[in-house]
Amino acid sequence: MTEVQFWSEDNRFGVKIEEESVGEILRYCQESSPKETGGILLGSYSAAHDCALIDTVTGAPVDSQMGSNWFVRGVRGLQAKLDLLWRRNEGYYLGEWHFHPFGSPIPSSVDVKQLQQIARSRLYRCPEPVLMIFGGDPTNSWTMRTFLFQRGSKSRVELSYLSNAMGRLPFGPIDASPIFGSDYL
């Protein structure tokens, strides 16, 4: 299975997500469009603890609220899923993903504030949560950006796309910038 990778400029922080999970997020985006949606990112960390390894994503829980330019992720069913992963030692909460339909994948002030709160929260046990934002048209021309938020820091670190050997996802070309899309479909 092929991964999509993002790394900080100094290579201190990385994120790898399975192509299958990116496709799953795009399906969630298609289903909710033209409304925003989101979910959580689950997985583990590399042995060096410098890279989040995302292998599972969720859609919006049933108690989520959404509109054309806002989204509040619900919680129903997530704690049971997280507890099961924890008990089986199969993964952790790594962060959030979010969709801006027909917009840019730029974090809003609400997105930033939420991820800063998660980084500080002892309940999440995630001092460096990841935020993946998808924007545009999930069926035709979409873009994606990835950010990392550190506990104790008001700034965020944008992670840049690292192309794989093929240089493309199975469902679209990859731009060498932190943003990539599938506008050839």
The alpha helices in 67-128, defined as continuous H runs, are 78-87, 109-120
Task: For 9-137, list the strands marked E by DSSP.
Answer: 14-18, 37-45, 51-57, 65-67, 70-72, 92-101, 130-136
Q: Is residue 132 a contact partner of residue 41, using CB atoms and an 8 Å limit?
A: yes
Per the listing, tokens 């690292």 go with 162
Instruction: Kindly state the DSSP code that residue 67 receives in the 8-state scheme.
Output: E
The answer to whether the bond into 34 is cis (omega within 30° of 0) is: yes
Q: Which is the catalytic residue, given 9, 31, 36, 158?
A: 36
User: Is 20 designated active site?
Assistant: no
Candidates 165, 154, 118, 136; CA nearest to 4 is 165
Give helix then strand counts, H and E, for the chain.
Answer: 3, 12
- Name every residue whose Cβ is closer than 8 Å to that of residue 66 and which is 6 or more positions away in sequence: 32, 35, 36, 37, 60, 72
Distance CA 41, CA 167 (A): 23
What is the set of active-site residues? Answer: 36
